[in-house]
Amino acid sequence: MTTMAPDLLLQFAADWEKIYKSAVFSGIVGDKAHQARGGYHIAIEDQPSDNYSITRPDDKAPPGTWPRNKASAVDMSMNTADMKLCAQRLQAAWNDKSDPRRKYLNAFNGWLGTGDAARWDFYANKKLFATSDHKWHVHLEFRRKWIDSKVAMTAVLSILKGEPKPFSGPYLRKPWPSYMPKGHYFGLVTGPRESHGGYYAAERPDIKAIQQRLITLGYVTGVTSPTSTWADGKFGAATKTAVTKWQKAKFASTTSRFGEVWSDDWKHLFTY
């Protein structure tokens, strides 16, 4: 038997143990009984080629190039309270199909504190039965592709800590200016007091940013470069036309004041 425990997986186990007060590391490499039935506690080369733990795309090697002599599962014993918390956090990631951290895990066995222990399969997206010993220890399987990945270990530890999934959507690249009073907007320089159009010098960089963004998005006829002198920091009729064109193309059903940039318009314009 040549199965080894990956160094990063040993460190992962030590870090996991620190998250829950009652947690006690139970092992990575399986014994002879584990070897006989195979699974993620056993290396690829130490079990039959048709074992369930080495047939999925992120487990097979070859064609994968990850190690064939390393286990990829961790067992962690803990009391009922910590078991419930740990299983709930892992289940939350299992439930959320958009959580990017799911890709590192094959499955986990655990218990939510009532009924039978269960197995949550991330690859098949199925919840199955698990033996009763998983009421006192969590069995956590990494896909073999990631057993030497620090990124994978860090990501799964963040699940165990109860941290939210990484934000993967667009970001607001420019915040709404703090000097804008409630009920004010960016509009014609000739507009009412509430319309900030570049009359004051402090407003002009923000209006210029609006103009440059509209150029980049293709809503300024005949202008293609955001460095063009068209973006002059003054909100005139041409800027109002470009804003209106953008709003009608993207937010016709939700915009009530075309040609003006309010805080919600600003958010739409600068989130990318």
1: pLDDT strictly greater than 70: no
What are 174-190's pLDDT values in tens digits?
999 999 999 999 999 99
- Cis before 177? omega within 30: no
**Ranges assigned E (strand) in 83-217:** 105-110, 118-121, 126-129, 137-142, 185-186, 195-196
- Domain annotation for the chain: domains and CATH numbers: 7-160 (no CATH), 185-270 (1.10.101)
Average pLDDT estimate for 22-34: 92
Determine the distance from the C-alpha atom of residue 242 to the mean position of all C-alpha atoms in its chain, rounded to a whole number: 35
Phi, psi at 263, each rounded to 5°: -60, -35
pLDDT tens-place string over residues 65-90: 999 999 999 999 999 999 999 999 99
Which pTM was predicted? Answer: 0.67
| 226-239 mean pLDDT | 97
Q: Which residues contact 36 (CB under 8 A, 6 or more apart)?
A: none
Q: Indicate the SS3 state at residue 234.
A: coil
How far apart (Å, rounded) are the C-alpha atoms in residues 129 and 202? Answer: 64
Asked whether the predicted pLDDT for residue 168 surpasses 80, the reply is no
Q: Are 123 and 56 in contact (CB under 8 A)?
A: yes
**pLDDT confidence tier of residue 204, bands split at 50, 70 and 90:** very high
Between 43 and 170, the higher pLDDT residue = 43
**163-167, 227-231, 253-257 — which one is most confidently predicted on average?**
227-231
Residue 257, phi-psi category: left (phi > 0), alpha (psi -120 to 50), beta (remainder)? beta
